[in-house]
Amino acid sequence: MPYKPVPYWAKLPHPMSFKEATSVAVDSQDRVYIFNRGNWPMMIFDADGNFLETWGAGEFNRPHGIFIDGDDNLYLADDDDHVVEKRTTSGEIIFRLGERGEPAAWQEGDPFNRPTDIVVHPESRDIFITDGYGNSRVHKYGPEGNHITSWGSPGALDGQFSLPHNVCMLGDDMIVVCDRENFRIQVFSLDGEYVGQKHMHRPIACANGRAGDDRIYVAEAGAPAVQAGVPNLGQRVVILDTDLNEVDSFGAGLAGEGHDQFIASHGIATDSSGAVYVAEVSYTNTGSNLNPPREVTSLRKWIPH
């Protein structure tokens, strides 16, 4: 199924801006939540890109990952604050995992040291968290926030991680972890048993389809700096079936601000119509290095056609 970009989808009221959109999620009404590093850290839009509301100013240190469960609860990872919060759609905190500003020991396995992303099981409501920049672990919690188990360690062997950056479901009995700097996704049982893996180019984000779509959508990051400008190294979204076979992809494969390009994919989500949203840390990757620095494109929408 071909996809086409929807340029300038988000209608931002003046003077609002994203600075950069770190992650994106969609609720049961197809409202789109943009977790970003600007002055309005949570921005909410309808499916047509009309601005609805914002909240969270001054409440986050470094927004990173977002997930919305089947009851429209939000789960937010703030990696520099070393916490994951469960919130309502209007921003009220339900509970917090971790202590703000108090990281666990670096790479020793306890939660959290710069957690990155969350997925919630659609039936049990168990919570799976990738942890992340300062750890090499996946943590599993019960729906009320009780810790159940953790797994993973630094390395490149089966079940080890080099920056577990994102997580999503595979069916209802497995999870997929974007093991970014090992250039692979890994599949685990719900208890952390290693199942398999697939080589990909720096897989940085993954999401599940909606409304009967059981495929997985994976955003591939671009090449490291030493290979800057080399085409066909990431900079695309890859769609996988439940056997992890590639069935489709989109994106020009070379970084840029063109409508069919990506700069620094970082988060991904889908809606009930089959649309795909990609959040990009484009200011960190590109805009901050320009002279003068400027905000660059950091949110994309693609639709099937």
Q: Are 281 and 34 in contact (CB under 8 A)?
A: no
CB 234 within 8 A of CB 264: no
Give the model's pLDDT for residue 231.
86
CA dihedral for 288, 289, 295, 299, sign (positive or negative): negative
| Spans in the chain with pLDDT lower than 70 | 1
Distances (CA, A) of 14 to 17, 58, 69, 218: 8, 19, 31, 32
Domain extent, residue 184, equals 3-304
Number of domains in the chain: 1
How many angstroms from the chain centroid is the CA of residue 50? 22
Q: Is there a contact between 168 and 157 (Cβ–Cβ < 8 Å)? A: no
Angle at 204 between CA 201 and CA 209, to 5 degrees: 105
Give phi and psi for 204, each to the nearest 5. -110, -20
Q: In which residue are the tokens 């949203």 written?
A: 277
Q: What is the largest CA-CA distance in the chain?
A: 50
How far is it, in rounded angstroms, from Cα 36 to Cα 157?
33
Q: Which residues contact 68 (CB under 8 A, 6 or more apart)?
A: 25, 26, 27, 33, 74, 75
> What is the pLDDT, as a whole number, of residue 230?
86
The CATH number of residue 82's host domain is 2.120.10.30
C-alpha distances in angstroms, 263 versus 57, 82, 280? 26, 26, 7
The reply to whether the predicted model has a pTM over 0.95 is yes
pLDDT value of position 88: 98
Q: Which long-range contacts (CB under 8 A, 24 or more apart) does 27-32 make?
A: 27/68, 27/72, 27/89, 28/70, 28/72, 29/72, 30/271, 30/272, 30/273, 31/89, 32/269, 32/271, 32/277
Residue 38, pLDDT score:
95
